[in-house]
Chains A and B, each alone.
Chain A
Amino acid sequence: MQVVKLSLKEANKIPIEADEVNPDNFAGKTEEEIKAIKVWYGNDQYHLGDFFNVKVEGSDSVENTKIVFEGDVSRVKRIGQNMSAGEIEINGNVDMHCGFGMKGGKIVINGDADNWLGCEMTGGEIILNGNASYYVGSGYRGESCGMRGGKITINGNAKDYLGEHMCGGEILVKGSVGLLPAISNNGGKIIIEGNATMPASEMKSGMVIIKGETFDLLPSFKEEGTEEFGGVTYRKFTGDVNVGGKGILLIK
């Protein structure tokens, strides 16, 4: 097991683009090597060691590498981008694009996450023990596929456009979500235990289950009896008929 502990020397105002901070780049490296990893800060490149105290315990393969952020990193973006294995634990809030394009492994965030959490991820797991912002598990601007695999669990609430253009994988929100969750979905499964507004517009396929209250259900969904999910009976809708969609929307 290799554990790498990172703590910010001082809180930064200008965001740090930490797209190289993932177990794939840390595994088997010494403290000095990790400190020398380059990150963007504003329009210049610096070394990770310029901003973070780095402590390394042990040395191991990617699967057995764990990165721990001690404290708030709410101005550090793209943590865990493209990671394929291993684990990241963030003990505080995190900035945008955490887990972007993640292929495997696990990210646990003990705080809130900013926009684009788990955007375009294809595998692995993200557990957020706080609230998420906009565009969880969505696609890059203009892409027709966002999240394709893996699982995101949000133990708090999420804002608008959850799972936009999602094509696979699963998102579970224990709290409520904002406007237009599952917009333009093309696969995958979204379970919202709280409330949602205008869900699943332009959905082509996939499944959305809303256990709380649904506000402003779109008129472009067809009601087709009931369906049981997890021992509870829901009203079943299919759509969005505007796009010839065959997605399934289960609501109370």
Chain B
Amino acid sequence: MSEILIKNANVCDPAQGINCETMDICIKDGKIVESVSANAKVIDAKGRLTMAGGFDGHTHSAGKINVGRFINPNDARKNLVPGLSGQVARTEKTRAQVGYNTPNTYAIGYRYAKLGYTTICEAAIPLLAARHTHEEFKEIPILDKMGLSLFGSNWQVMEYIRDKEPEKLAAYIAWGLRASRGYGIKIVNPGGGEAWGWGKNVSGLYDPVPNFDVTPAEILLGLAEVNERLNLPHSVHVHCNNLGKPGNYETTIETMKLFEKVKPSRNRQALHVTHVQFNAYAGTSWRDFETGAPMVADYVNGADHLTFDLGQIIFGPAVTMTADGPVEYANARMLHEKWSNQDIELEDASGVVPLFYSPKNFVNSVQWAIGLELALLVKDPWKVMFTTDSPNGGSFVNYPEAFTYLMSAKRREEVISGFSKTALDRMVLPGIDRELDFYELAVMTRSTQSRMYSRPEKGNLKPGSDADIAIYDILPEQIDPSTEYEKVKKAFSGAAYTLKDGEIVVKDGEIEATPKGKIYWVNAKVPSTIDSAMQKDIDVKFRKYYTVSKANYMVEDMYLQRPVEITTEGVF
């Protein structure tokens, strides 16, 4: 029975419509409650900005990031954001930390917590490599974790879609989520991962996948139908076709339109489009490359069936890592960079390429602007999730820096003043004077995520919610983020307090405690007759093609630390 009373908190909690109001927060046994007894431990927030713990809904923090570590041993010594990167010796409370874009697992936990984040969603778990992902999850302290399982280029998925067997497909997805202990359906360049196995790619929504006679559009809609049939807490999470190619904004809008007819089974979006910055490019080549953000934002402003995240880039070194194999090949060739390429057997492709975003490079400058344009041109912040697609656009430790871009036009001007004229001609950012306030920032970093992932106990401070709380050293009434962005950045870089399940994990920017986080996974119920019919099909796959047996494939309970099983009932 532990009780905490946070006094004089200046609370910003969009889920309850609270916009920087001074109030007290009561915590009992790791949950937020209406009131506590007189024995409660008191934390005096002294009028400082208080939000629910941050929720990063799209990050690469376990699994593939390990390949990034292999090919970038030099990342271990990078210290571009002092206090949140580089080599830190172990202390009594923390283990040794290294790295910047690809830090070790412990550093990921500590650093997110320092930023006031308490939950992360790993954006891509290949079913075949899910055991490894969960092994890394186990070693990421403090944070609650969930992961999205990759289904977009999966043989069994494509066969069921081709053969029009939606029930078996639903059974397969439910099994796949169970096998990987995943939280939702991730689709990366639908069909492209399989095409890459033949050295090819798919060029758009209606370009058939080699040997499977299905199109990316059919894959998307087939999986969306199953997603809603199974009542999954998250919508399909889509990395569109043609990522990183000039002119791809058209494919992005086309993909969004495709989902207008999908009816969500829960009170959430029907589609989440991820790291849209990489998918909002206009022009026909890198020569006439320009922003496509206004067109995408226009469409999003008129639609209410989707959410998206930014994939904002941060100038400096980054490591791209994606299941989009052909994109990584193109990156490596264009940039003469190191390249890791993997074939995930029957399931997908994968690639890792380190790169450097330079403000001197006009393409990079425009990419930087596109992310911010998307955030600022889309009127409703509830449709937007803030991400850098860490570490694809840049490491998450730069979030505070990126917040200043969103909150201060002056800060943006400062960066833009270093751009070339060519770059300025290709972007619309200089004409945008919108500045987010703390309320909107809280929406993009917490509240949207809570709704998007159907996790009502996360990302808000309602009684009954998890007591994951961040207090930042900012007095909202006395600060003008538009001019005092350095203060904003400093405050968000090291929370005055981060509480996780009612325990103080960060105090004055330093780690206080390192409890183990929970793992959320979805167990979707499917009638046993359909399941056993589906099992026969995958048994053939295991016998004929997989390098592992089914028994060695499943993520078993022993891999999960503090698992939280979310059960859903499918409609059959």
Contact = CB atoms under 8 A, between A and B. Distances in A.
Interface of A: 139-143, 204, 243-244
Interface string B336-367: 10000000000000000000000000000000
B336 A142 contact: no
Interface in B69-100: 71-75, 77
Contacts of A139: 74
A140 B72 CA distance: 10
Contacts of A142: 71-75
B336 A143 contact: no
A141 B71 CA distance: 9
Contacts of B71: 142
A244 B75 CA distance: 26
A185 to B, nearest CB: 13
A244 B335 CA distance: 12
Given A140-B74, A141-B74, A142-B71, 4 more contacts: A142-B72, A142-B73, A142-B74, A142-B75
Contacts of B72: 142
Q: Which of A139, A143, A204 has the most CB of B within 10 A?
A: A143
Interface in B47-71: 71
Counting chain B residues whose Cβ lies within 8 A of the other chain, the interface size class is under 10
B336 A141 contact: no
A244 B336 contact: yes
B25 to A, nearest CB: 44
15 contacts: A139-B74, A140-B73, A140-B74, A140-B77, A141-B73, A141-B74, A142-B71, A142-B72, A142-B73, A142-B74, A142-B75, A143-B74, A204-B336, A243-B336, A244-B336
A143 B74 CA distance: 6
A221 to B, nearest CB: 18
Nearest to A204: B336
Closest 8 pairs between A and B when the two form their complex, measured CB to CB? A142-B74, A142-B73, A141-B73, A143-B74, A142-B72, A140-B74, A141-B74, A243-B336
B74 to A, nearest CB: 3
A140 B74 CA distance: 7
Nearest to A243: B336
A215 to B, nearest CB: 27
A142 B340 CA distance: 13
B85 to A, nearest CB: 16
B70 to A, nearest CB: 9
Interface string B548-570: 00000000000000000000000
A142 B336 CA distance: 14
Contacts of A141: 73-74
B424 to A, nearest CB: 29
Contacts of B336: 204, 243-244
A146 to B, nearest CB: 11
A143 B75 CA distance: 9
Nearest to A141: B73
Contacts of A204: 336
A139 B71 CA distance: 14
A203 to B, nearest CB: 12
A100 B75 CA distance: 18
A143 B76 CA distance: 11
Interface in B281-327: none
Contacts of B77: 140
A243 B337 CA distance: 10
A244 B77 CA distance: 30
A81 to B, nearest CB: 13
A47 to B, nearest CB: 19
Contacts of B75: 142
Contacts of A140: 73-74, 77
B509 to A, nearest CB: 27
Nearest to B76: A142
Contacts of B74: 139-143
B18 to A, nearest CB: 47
Nearest to A244: B336
Nearest to A245: B336
A140 B77 CA distance: 10
A139 B336 CA distance: 17
A130 B436 CA distance: 64
B73 to A, nearest CB: 4
